[in-house]
Structure 1
């Protein structure tokens, strides 16, 4: 009986994995991701199509090559990124995913390249805003996480933070020792 239920669980798991691979349009994205745009287009072999991203925060680009092979290049240094000048890329033969950090300067340039192995490529790109990054209510227009804020501080800031934590720890420890000594004497 136990063997049968384990076998059934294994078959169910394998079927879910296989259907996920067979159905590429089924984007299993987290509920916290907000769909901002859906961009569809065609691109000729060896050519680029350029888009501009102005949204703040952490943005996730999901691009599916529906026909041919479209590749994705992203940069906050140039509005016309290519395979020579980019900061982020995804060059698979199917689904391309790039996560644009919230720290990238806006506007961000997006280059879609039609791979020369196909005369024409057709793509669909979904642009998501990742709401899982907590927003600092005290910093206007920022979607950066607490860790990123710490990284933006001066190099000596980490040492100061450590000293402050150590100072608080010593204050608590000395206070506890005083209470114990008062009780004993």
Structure 2
């Protein structure tokens, strides 16, 4: 519903806005795919696969230490779910997740019980998704959440408030979901 005296956006303008948002999302994914890994990361494996809409593909991680999963969707939209309590994590049962329209990244802490279950989910917005996941061992010292609380200066200096990568990722996920819904309604 629009305010009196205002017109609703015309379908061509809405389609243009949707196309620009999709293009921005694709550009973000391409930039993430080309980003080099930090020098502390050691590449262990590269996993490639296909996943159908609404389906899961499961992997098990046995490597100890802090492991980083960096996945990109080559086609479609694959999402990542990780758990140390189930070998079949899903969007209903997971410990860590990344569900963006671009590159997905999950850092598995060293304290997670092994084997770790990894679920790759094919988003239903595409009939099939193709993905590439790189598995890295992170040699950098792990920062425990309780370590900052032990520092006296951490209690007095909250620092500037910036959105976390998870908040940014959630915002993009919500935006893309809304755009997909609008496209489904229009077509």
TM-score by length of structure 1 reads 0.61
- How far is 1:26 from its partner? 1.6
- Cα distance change on mapping 1:84 and 1:22 into 2, 3 Å: closer
| Paired position in structure 1 for 2:73 | 65
2:128 to 108, 120, 135: 120
Equivalence map 1:34-73=2 (5 Å): 34-73=42-81
What residue ranges of structure 2 are gaps of 5+ in the alignment? Answer: 1-26, 151-187
Secondary structure of residue in 2 paired with 1:25: helix
**Structure 2: how far apart are the matches of 1:27 and 1:53?**
24
- Pair member with larger Rg: 1
Gaps of 5+ in 1: 1-18, 134-144, 152-157, 159-185
Residue 110 (1) aligns with residue 118 (2): yes
How many equivalent residue pairs?
A: 122
- The match for 1:28 among 31, 36, 60 is 36
Displacement of 1:27 in angstroms is: 2.7
Q: 1:121 to 1:21 in 2, by over 3 A?
A: closer
Cα distance in 2 for residues equivalent to 1:43 and 1:146? 34
TM (norm. structure 2) is 0.60
Distance of 1:63 and 1:146 partners within structure 2: 23
CA-based RMSD of the aligned residues comes to 2.2
